[in-house]
Amino acid sequence: MASGDFLRQMQGYGLTTANIFYRMPDHPGIIQSYIWQDYDLHPHFPELRKFLDFWTRSLDGPLHGVTVAHAQLIKPAEMRLVNGEFSVH
């Protein structure tokens, strides 16, 4: 049986990392950073949007900015032609 993460990758999900910058509730002049990582769909990022909506509704630290990186982990195989074969004993 394949893992749930593998099945999600087969459905087009890729690893998404978001660096979320937010202001401290008690000290609004200080900006903190929180790293969020999960499998998500590019380019609309429904899982990240769901998390950011939760953050806005439930947490006191107002968002300052979000930087997103995404990598499609399962890609078509790359093929490279080889000119020779070497045997190592």
pLDDT (tens digit per residue) in 14-41: 999 999 999 999 999 999 999 999 999 9
Question: Confidence class of residue 5 from pLDDT cuts 50, 70 and 90?
Answer: confident
Q: CA 64 to CA 41: how far, in whole Å?
A: 23
Report which residue type is found at 72: Q
- Which structure tokens are listed for 55? 């953050």
pLDDT digits (tens, 9 = 90+) for 53-65: 999 999 999 999 9
> Where exactly are the structural domains of the chain?
4-71
* Range 58-81 burial, b when 16+ CB lie within 10 A, else e: eeebeeeebeeebeeeeeeeeeee
Query: Would you give the distance in Å from CA 42 to the centre of its chain?
Result: 9
- This prediction has a pTM of 0.78
